Chain A
Amino acid sequence: MIGFVSYLVFFLTVALILGIATLGLNLQWGGTGLFNAGIVGFYAIGAYTFAILTAPARPELLGNFELPWIVGLVGAMAAAALAALITGLATVRLRGDYLAVATFGIAVTIQLVATNFEALTGGTMGIASIPNPFRGLFAAPLANNFGYLAVVVVILAIAYVALERIARSPWGRVLKAIREDEVAAETLGKNTRSFRLQAFVIGSTLMGLAGALYASFIGFVSPFDFLPILTFQIWTMLIIGGSGNNRGAILGAIVVWGIWSAIGAASSKMLPEQLQIYGGAAQAMIIGLALVLVLLLRPRGLIGEQPVTSRHAA
């Protein structure tokens, strides 16, 4: 029983952290129609920045500044925002698929930097002992994990409420107008480039935040934690849950992470060592299949977008 509960806590923590990234994507794609093909890049920037700022010093590493936990979180968000600003500025004037290509590029590049810039990132060895405010706080590890889960829930709730509010604000309505018809929005005098850039940066900041929370939870980062499949996972979470709906994003994160973990657990139990690789391939194929099928058969996802009207329009 304890084993099951502690697994459930672990599972939910990761699922909800991914849910924060999915909320970020929902602002970009669901809210504004921006295609981010490099989610894992922003997630990794957040995780690594957090690790570099907060991990205990090691003589061979440039970073590891041992700064407080909260400074790490803020730093991670700032770094992800900066990366988003650079890619966003290059592509904001262009057709949507250029943003897709550029963000894909940033993910590839971050992976390379993480692997090769050993003095900063620890290379393939990664950075270990990343602080978690709850580690060792109570005697029972389960209590500590519960504590961290509570922190994640609170941060997720804050992000959810904030996103819900801005979706209903005039700002959020401009985003939706851009998604539906950019020319019309421009005709109404909206600076659509600036709005798109803002939505892109805020969404990516949430992805960086999610990465930082993940690094703190696991206590370790290495390039192998940030494989391109993560981008696909987050996309699938949003699409299955229901693009354009923040609750859908969170629900999708839990459902997809559940399916993913279940297949992973089943294949590691049932398949012999040399066939394990097929389990991983099957997981990825199912994600791909789910993406395509939902697009074809149920584009609105589990809970689709709800019509939103202004509070003032009655």
Chain B
Amino acid sequence: MIGQAIADGLLTGGILALGAIGYSLCAHMLKFANFAHAEMLTWGAYLAFAVVAFLPAGPAIGPFSFGWPLLVAIVVSCVGTGLIAVAADALVFSKLRKRRASSLTLVFASFGIALILRNLVLFVWGADAHYYSQELQISLEVLPNVRLMPDQVLVLVLTVALVVALHLFLKFSRIGVAMRSMAENPALSQVCGIDIAKVVRWTWMLSGALAAIAGVFAGLTVQIRPEMGFNMLLALFTAAILGGTGSLFGAVAGGLIVGLAESLSALVIPTGYKAAVPFGLLLIILYLRPQGLFSRSARV
């Protein structure tokens, strides 16, 4: 029972972590809470769904529920979702930044963008749930009394791989270094010849792509719904704040903590309240350690 809850929690936690990293990157670079980030998860899931529906159905790969079309779809969806994020920035956020609007005005605009994007999904794909595949899967007993679907195992493995790859990217690639330096001090970075606009575009692209992957994973392991991202928004925020905004491994830890807390809470409180667990965690962390668990700075 508890083993299964931990396994489920890690799975949700991994998906939340991917979403939270993307959110945290943007929040750290551009200094505002982007309420539209959750819609990037939804759009990622739906774009991939559209590609899968368009491609001819292939046979499923090994024990998984999906075939190669979904792999193609993930790549297309990452690019597409990244471009949506870049477009939102070009059309709205960058204009507000140029006007030197306060960060709360940006938060506010993200509210409006979220509303537009979420309802656009409703327009295009309707309110019903969708699935990437109708294949049934046989769950594996990975540990005694802990059963996982093959898809879920894959999601966990891929999440770990992605986080490692992202860490290396931020640490060693030119653009990764530029991103970190801009987060520290935009003016100084500019003086050093870093093209701020390009770095911002990269940040949105990366954040959108991560959100798309999180959305596809959520769609693969649960289902694809217009409100799927919105329902995860609070958990994403909590994970990012818990980890300390801007910290990659912090966001991962935050995602895992929130995922585990949600799924373990089902053992003690009625499942209807599961979605309130992140809020409880959020209040505790804001009272006790608002800079997050893994942030070095003491100031917020």
Contacts and interface: CB of A to CB of B under 8 A. Distances in A.
Interface of A: 33, 35, 37, 86-87, 89-91, 93-98, 100-102, 104-106, 108-109, 112-113, 115-116, 228-229, 232, 235, 239, 277-278, 281-282, 284-285, 287-292, 295-296, 299
Contacts of A86: 283
A277 B126 contact: yes
Contact of A284 (B95, B115, B126, B282): B115
Nearest to A108: B234
A297 to B, nearest CB: 10
Interface stretch (B104-112, B150-158, B209-217): B104-112
13 contacts: A37-B35, A97-B107, A101-B241, A105-B234, A109-B276, A232-B112, A285-B115, A288-B119, A289-B116, A291-B108, A292-B92, A296-B96, A299-B105
Given A91-B286, A285-B116, A100 B122 contact: no
Contact of B300 (A98, A108, A115): A98
B3 to A, nearest CB: 27
Interface stretch (B132-140, B198-206, B267-275): B267-275
Given A112-B276, A116-B272, A288-B112, A33 B96 contact: no
Contact of B112 (A96, A101, A291): A291
A91 B127 CA distance: 35
Contacts of A112: 272-273, 275-276
- Chain A's interface: helix, strand, loop or mixed, by majority? helix
Contacts of A94: 286, 290, 300
B189 interface: no
B110 to A, nearest CB: 9
Contacts of B127: 277
A98 B107 CA distance: 11
Interface string B32-53: 1101000000000000000000
Given A108-B279, A292-B113, 4 more contacts: A94-B300, A109-B279, A113-B273, A295-B96
A281 B92 contact: no
B276 A101 contact: no
B276 A113 contact: yes
B123 interface: yes
Contacts of A37: 35, 107, 111
Given A35-B108, A295-B108, A108 B102 contact: no
Contacts of A93: 290, 300
B279 A35 contact: no
B119 A284 contact: yes
B245 to A, nearest CB: 10
B120 A108 contact: no
B114 interface: yes
B66 interface: no
Contacts of B172: none
A287 B284 CA distance: 34
Contacts of A102: 282-283, 286
B300 A33 contact: no
Contacts of B32: 97
Interface in B67-110: 92, 95-96, 101-105, 107-109
6 shortest A-B CB distances, which residue pairs? A288-B115, A291-B112, A116-B272, A97-B33, A105-B279, A288-B116
A235 B108 contact: yes
Contact of A35 (B107, B112, B278): B107
Contact of B279 (A106, A229, A285, A290): A106
Q: Which of A95, A228, A278 has the most CB of B within 10 A?
A: A95
Nearest to B272: A116
A288 B114 contact: yes
B103 A101 contact: no
A291 B276 contact: no
Given A108-B279, A277-B127, A285 B119 contact: yes
B237 interface: yes
A96 B107 CA distance: 10
B233 interface: yes
A116 B113 CA distance: 30
B104 A116 contact: no
A291 B278 contact: no
B54 interface: no
Contact of B272 (A108, A115, A229, A278): A115
A33 B237 CA distance: 21
A115 B95 CA distance: 40
Nearest to B279: A105
A91 B126 CA distance: 38
A291 B275 contact: no
Contacts of B111: 37, 232, 235, 288, 291
